[in-house]
Amino acid sequence: MLSKALRVLLLSSTCVALHAQQTIVVSGGGPALQQAIAVANPGDMLDVMAGSYDPIMVTKGLAIRCRAGVAIAQTGQAPAIAIERIPAGQTLLFAGGSCSSSTPLVPALRVANTDGTVVLRSIVASVPGTLAWALLIEGCRGAVLCRSLALSGTIGGFAAVNGSDHVTFAGGAARMGISVRAATVAFTGTQIDHGLTVESGSVSVTGGYVHGYSSFSGIGDPAIRLRSGELTLADDVDVRAVSAWPVPAILTNAGLVRVGPRVTLTSASTALPIEGPAQVQRIDTPSVRAGDVPAGAPLRIDVTGQPRDLVATFVDVPRTPRATPFGPLWVDPSSPLLDLRTLDATGTFSITVPAPVAPGTAWTLQPLALTQALALAVGTPARVFVE
């Protein structure tokens, strides 16, 4: 039975839902999309037909759904898609379409200075030139949910998350390097080629893979560089250096690395899996996965941990994670408890709960474990978006 507190949480939200006040059909390419954004009211849905559109800027909570064949190209110093200053209490959903940038240091897709929630889904972002961002997220205080993004580019293209409080990636692929600076980021089931660099902040990686990059000469880079901050690896993530020379899977300058028992670390040649002065902890970090759901549909949640660990799974509205000695806490300690159980020999279980009834809302899931050694392990989080 669901607790009373959980029922209240599932039926309400601190966020304004994306109730479509009206649907605006956009066609014709060129400036048509920006013109439609300008006249739309928060909560409206834009149904965008195929075509080549001029760069756009969005500063209000809308649902922008792009049909197949929608392309937005960067021109001058303007990103192809700029999402900025979404107010607190509003949600911006941008789904589908493709965007590109060929100008150095001008992103194809930029999300900046938002207080509301931003959901990016199934967008193709590419940078045919060098020294360009396919995706740049910076200065965001509200939640940013990246779902099934396809980021690609030539050598020298990259993606970055800077100075943002809570960003999640679910699925998708980044055929380029990703850097994180002064941000809290969680990757779940994401495929990252050309490496992940953590300059500072806190990063968790659950499932998927992080592979390094090898040049034509065979000289490669580590899969992950930790310059400072925290890195947590959980579930069956594959971290692999790609090089003909001795290169570790993870190279550290400082900070803390937490490694779960299901993680695969593969170094190149004779290098150690983890090298450098960072502290390394081997701990039974639990993880949770859940997909987005339509409003009112049941939500399936899959939790993974170590057999015989006691695992509690919590749900909460998006909030800035709180730093703890055991890892960032993405849920409030007083948030509703979804499930509490001792894991069986498989170390996995699934639960199904009613989804929130309000469309356009986001929710955070996070497990905590008491291990057999009586140690507390803060699990890696997941975010769910309700259509």
Query: What does the alpha-carbon distance between residue 116 and residue 114 come to, in Å, rounded to a whole number?
Result: 6
Output the pLDDT for position 8: 47
Output the pLDDT for position 296: 80
Compute the C-alpha angle 212/327/145, nearest 5°. Answer: 65
Query: What does the alpha-carbon distance between residue 277 and residue 346 come to, in Å, rounded to a whole number?
Result: 34
Query: What does the alpha-carbon distance between residue 278 and residue 191 come to, in Å, rounded to a whole number?
Result: 25
Q: Are 41 and 61 in contact (CB under 8 A)?
A: no
Instruction: Measure Cα distances from 95 to 53, 88, 150 in Å.
Output: 15, 20, 12
Identity of the highest mean pLDDT range in 29-38, 96-105, 328-337: 29-38
Query: What does the alpha-carbon distance between residue 314 and residue 381 come to, in Å, rounded to a whole number?
Result: 10
Quick one: tokens of 247? Answer: 């290169």
> How many CA atoms are closer than 13 Å to the CA of 7, on its beta-carbon side?
4
pTM for the model: 0.93
Please list the residues that pair with 95 across neighbouring strands: 65, 121
18: pLDDT strictly greater than 50:
no
Q: What are phi and psi of 151, to 5 degrees?
A: -110, 125
pLDDT confidence tier of residue 146, bands split at 50, 70 and 90: very high
3: pLDDT strictly greater than 60:
no
User: Which single residue is written with the structure tokens 């953590």?
Assistant: 198
Least trusted range by pLDDT, from 23-32, 177-186, 359-368: 359-368
Query: What does the alpha-carbon distance between residue 340 and residue 338 come to, in Å, rounded to a whole number?
Result: 7
Least trusted range by pLDDT, from 148-162, 167-181, 248-262, 269-283: 148-162
Quick one: tokens of 335? Answer: 């948030």
